[in-house]
């Protein structure tokens, strides 16, 4: 089955779907031992964890990378409200149960980082530790997210606002899925981003498109064949399910009203590329880690890497990840550190 779903499945990994209430979630699994649940971001698939699956399995863990709802081989409900954060948390809990486990370490990248953090926040009984890649944890604040993002960019439109209107971003992306993905991936990667950095690409000029500022290069860490696979998955599903996560942000804010300012108290890890624009925009969130992530083991900025840190620098990320996982049952972790 693995090769039917993807020729890039790591040797020894298997594809399966598991029943969760009202739907089925597709995942790729490798190894045996404590469960580590891997949650991808936008616009990605389980495939973004292809380098971590065998490394975690070799280190003695049961590594499971899911297709998040709205992506890949998992369901894509039509209703935007079906993508609110509580639904993603329920999916993750249900996957853990379907795999016959009671608890898991959860690790996420990009939107997956937010989903992982909120899974740990809402269900600390299930998610005993949390790894955050690319996007730092930021507790719910006092301003509705769409209002906050609308204030960014001046005469230009921030990409989150650009994604809000149903059909608008789809009309830009879906006529050339492969080209759009290649440009988006390359523009945010450390070795191919514009000389000015990746930040400018997130702003849309009036009457323009997000892709107007993409670099016209292929990402070095993704082969043409792998890009073909990712593009084919999105061509099959469309982008609406993926974009509906952005369109649910205000619902998340409403649902998390009882958790304003709440810290994540579980053992945690933060890893990002040093060139990732998210680190600049969310610098205050990183500075707040002593209070918002009191269980932080370590915080790392990977030199030369951009947004796709676990794909751009898999060996270094795998070392950081397995070192942290090994600490969970070891001695008391050291004080939080920040490395390059």
Q: Which residues are catalytic?
A: 110, 307
What is the rounded (10 degree) CA torsion for 249, 96, 6, 68? -10
Helices (H), the chain: 2-5, 52-58, 85-98, 111-122, 145-150, 159-162, 168-173, 177-187, 224-237, 240-243, 249-255, 277-281, 283-287, 289-292, 309-312, 314-327
What gap in Å lies between CA 43 and CA 62, rounded to an integer? 25
Buried b (16+ CB within 10 A) or exposed e, 204-221: beeeebbbebbbeeebeb
Tokens at residue 112, please? 């997956």
List the beta bridge partners of residue 14.
29
Closest of 102, 118, 124, 125 to residue 39, by C-alpha = 118
Name the nearest CA neighbour of 226 among 48, 14, 12: 48
């Amino acid at each position: 089955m693995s090769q039917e779903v993807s020729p890039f499945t790591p040797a020894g990994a298997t594809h399966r779907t598991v029943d969760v209430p009202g739907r089925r979630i597709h995942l790729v699994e490798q190894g045996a031992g404590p469960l580590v649940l891997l949650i991808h971001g936008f616009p990605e698939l389980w495939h973004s964890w292809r380098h971590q699956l065998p490394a975690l399995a070799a280190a003695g863990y049961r590594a499971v990378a899911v297709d998040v709802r709205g992506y890949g081989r998992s369901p894509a409900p039509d209703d935007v409200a079906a993508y609110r954060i509580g639904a993603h948390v329920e999916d993750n809990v249900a996957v853990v149960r379907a795999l016959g486990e009671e608890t898991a370490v959860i690790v996420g990248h990009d939107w997956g980082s937010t989903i992982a953090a909120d899974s740990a926040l809402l269900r600390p009984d299930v998610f005993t530790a949390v790894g955050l890649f690319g996007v730092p944890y930021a507790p719910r604040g006092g301003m509705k997210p769409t209002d906050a993002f609308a204030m960014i960019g001046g005469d230009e439109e921030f990409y989150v606002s650009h994604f809000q209107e149903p059909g608008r971003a789809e009309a830009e992306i879906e006529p050339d899925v492969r080209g759009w993905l290649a440009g988006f991936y390359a523009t945010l990667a450390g070795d191919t981003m514009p000389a000015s950095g990746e930040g400018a690409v997130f702003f849309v000029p009036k009457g323009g498109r997000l892709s107007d500022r993409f670099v016209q290069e292929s990402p070095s860490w993704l082969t043409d064949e792998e890009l073909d696979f990712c593009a084919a998955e999105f061509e099959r599903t469309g982008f609406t399910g993926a974009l509906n996560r952005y369109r649910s942000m205000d619902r998340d804010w409403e649902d998390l009203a009882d958790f304003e300012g709440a810290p994540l108290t579980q053992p945690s890890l933060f890893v990002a590329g040093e060139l990732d624009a998210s680190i600049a925009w969310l610098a205050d969130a990183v500075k707040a880690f002593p209070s918002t992530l009191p269980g932080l083991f370590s915080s790392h900025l990977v030199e030369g890497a951009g947004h796709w840190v676990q794909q751009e620098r898999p060996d270094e990320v795998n070392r950081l990840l397995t070192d942290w996982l090994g600490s969970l049952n070891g001695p008391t972790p050291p004080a939080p550190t920040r490395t390059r």
